[in-house]
Amino acid sequence: MKYSRIIGTGRCLPDKVVTNADLEKIVDTTDEWIRSRTGIERRHMAAEGETTCDLAEGAVREAMAAAEIGPDDVDMIVIGSTTPDQVFPNMGCLLQARLGIHGPAAFSLEAACSGFIFALSVADKYVRCGDVKTAVVVGAETLTRIVDWNDRGTCVLFGDGAGAVVIRADDEPGILSTHIHADGAYKDLLYFPSGVSKGFDQLKAGADAVQMRGNEVFKVAVNTLGQIVDETLEANSLGKEDIDWLIPHQANIRMIQATAKKLGMPMERVVLTVQDHGNTSAASVPMALDVAVRDGRIQRGDRLLLEAFGGGFTWGSALVRY
């Protein structure tokens, strides 16, 4: 039986950094309020003309370099993103053209903040069934383009960035299991109102922005992420003590602390980037993974639990032997 193993990671962040102090100048908020409720201290913002695909390309080139592969080695590209450059071609095709890759399947999917986990799950299945040997999986976003900068409840939360991994077929287990779920009954708690076939005039006018009922989202997210921890451990016949690192979606420090408590895991074993990146949606998990791989915290053989929760609602996890 074939498995997939992560052989390279990468990330890309815009150069522009927006601190909480910067936000104090444009919206009714304070550094203390943002830090105490979210853990966020700063976030990166895409420059004018800088696109989601620009960030995705930067992350993928880093991941491919780390994996020591070239364009001819890639059999599939899967991107999770809520903020694509265009309606079509899809982000995978746009990225494929930039990388000089010709022929393999390239596509994007939208599962909000769970997008990378969903994309990883899809790519892992293709590797396991033998159709793909090497895949590039990406989470990339420019969320700052779709927030209302007058709404202090949402604008302080989001940032831009991209993270990527390269996975390759292997005889030894790398990605041990993935678990993805959704429940559209909660669609009105976290959403963007308009699109191509609904409210297009609002979209064109830039009159819509992310809508969120924060307290309700938090309650459902904490409960749901607790359940998926149990599901993941049970599926692999493991105990909480068998997890070396938690790599959570970087949305809110209190949400991350609640998941760590569920695992009985000290915060020293949780990869935190929320303070530096804010909530980068689908990009947050792969960027956090790359940070911890490159600074040496994560070593080969470590067992990692990746998890995310996003609008939809969607949620998912991946258990990885790095």
Order of all β-strands in the sheet with 175-182: 175-182, 314-321, 303-310, 245-248
Of 53, 249, 252, 277, catalytic:
249
Cβ-in-10-Å burial (0-12, 13-18, 19+) of 103 comes to exposed
Of 44, 113, 252, 277, catalytic:
113
> Could you give the C-alpha distances from 140 to 67, 160, 164, 169, 283, in angstroms and in order?
19, 8, 8, 24, 5
> Could you give the C-alpha distances from 282 to 46, 108, 178, 245, in angstroms and in order?
16, 12, 16, 19
249 is catalytic: yes
Structure tokens at 133: 């040997």
Alpha carbon of residue 30 to chain centroid: 27
Compute and round to an integer the Cα radius of gyration of the chain. 18
279 is catalytic: yes
Q: Residue 226 corresponds to which amino acid?
A: G
Q: How many residues does the chain have?
A: 322
Catalytic residue numbers read 113, 249, 279
